[in-house]
Homo-oligomer: A and B are copies of this chain.
Amino acid sequence: MKNSPPLDHAHLHARIAALAEIGAVEGGGCARLALTDEDKAGRDLVVSWMRAQGLAIHVDAIGNVFAIRAGRESGAPVMTGSHVDTVRTGGRFDGNLGVLAGLEACRALDAAGIVTRHPLCVAFFTNEEGARFQPDMMGSLVHAGGLSLEEALAATDGAGIAVGDELDRIGYRGTMAPGTIRPRAFVELHIEQGPVLEDSAVTIGAVTGVQGISWHEFTIGGVSAHAGTTPMRLRHDAGYVAAEIATFTRRLTREIGGTQVGTVGVVELRPNLINVIANQARLTVDLRNTDETNLREAEARLFAFVDATVAAEGCTVAVRKLARFEPVDFPPDMIARVERLAIARGRSVMRLPSGAGHDAQMLARLCPTAMIFVPSVKGLSHNVAEFTTPADIEAGADILLDLLLELAEA
């Protein structure tokens, strides 16, 4: 393996800051919802940098952008990348770091006159966040063949506007068929978006995989009645059922244990008045686990509890599955490479699963995949206060460069 050339840390920080100017919101964050004018401006800036670096740019029919740096041999590239869309009150590092660090790795090789054996490819994928169009990780899912192009193009936002029309409007509906560029390996550098690395005072996370995700919406139907005049035995209180489900979700995480997490983030009552028993409650349950068997067990127990509680209160329930991804395990060899390279750089490193979804979990369907995490201060993300220290960004970008070089020479 070659020693890595030096990476221009200052230039990377400057590009992160420049990209963060687009869609900037108060507090240091960004609002570049997928396929909006702000997303287009962010894409245009990143593509201008790709062009300036002499990379060959390909845009596929779902708007994923691939920038290829030729190798000594042709064939499947080693790919890196992430996304440049953000949530409505997003930070400047989520996604953007992985794309810009990949481009910086190419610049470092250019400066050192290194041509790798295999081509390198820096990609950004459409609508990773899912904040405007569902499902999230849309571009990488289509790339990996997990969602048809037609379905993805037809997805609409809250205003009824379709992905396909917005891609046309912003000029990012490319001609290349999704999945055309099949990588030989994929690496994604990303901020952790959680508190574990900081809590453990560790700089580099060697990501073992991505938790499975189960999202369900329950709409409970009850009967509105007067809070003062209706005896308890005659009630059909949708709000009470929702509360029981929410407290059960917490209990479930203790009973299943391990990596099981569970969150009720949405609760809405109707009519939502102090002295009226709710005739409707809508709530969402987010369950995640690194183990598919345990995740299924959690789902089964949740559904059984919901059914029993709804029946006991004389209510009704409608269930909608909002998302379901099985856990992804990255190959042990890829995890070990991250660990080894971190140690070689003198960095503290630990293995941990990703609690959030990432494009890498889709690419893992196609090729050996790794993720490198750097710490998020206070675990904050999807928050304008999202922050990763310059030193941690540099440490992560260095290891990304090392791993890309190692894989491209293999």
Contact = CB atoms under 8 A, between A and B. Distances in A.
Contacts of A253: 232
A305 interface: no
A42 B213 CA distance: 56
A265 B274 contact: yes
A275 B264 contact: no
A195 to B, nearest CB: 6
Interface residues of A, number: 60
Interface in A311-363: 322, 354-357
A131 B230 CA distance: 19
How many copies of this chain? 2
Interface in A217-265: 217, 224-232, 234, 237, 239-240, 242-244, 246-247, 250, 253-254, 261-265
Nearest to A199: B234
A140 interface: no
A203 interface: no
Given A274-B284, A274-B322, A286-B274, A357 B231 contact: no
A230 B261 contact: yes
B267 A273 contact: no
B227 A288 contact: yes
Interface stretch (A120-128, A160-168, A380-388): A380-388
Given A246-B243, A247-B240, A274-B215, A193 B229 contact: yes
A192 interface: yes
B243 A264 contact: yes
A261 B379 contact: no
Contact of A250 (B195, B230, B240, B261): B240
A231 B261 contact: yes
A237 B247 CA distance: 11
Contacts of A21: none
Contacts of A224: 383
Interface string A187-230: 00000111110010000000000010101010000001111111
Contacts of A228: 193-194, 211, 213, 261, 286, 288, 354-357
A240 to B, nearest CB: 6
Contacts of A240: 246-247, 250, 264
Contacts of A211: 228
A263 B275 CA distance: 7
A273 B266 contact: yes
A322 B232 CA distance: 22
A111 B162 CA distance: 72
Contact of A277 (B226, B265, B276, B277): B265
B379 A229 contact: yes
A272 interface: yes
A278 interface: yes
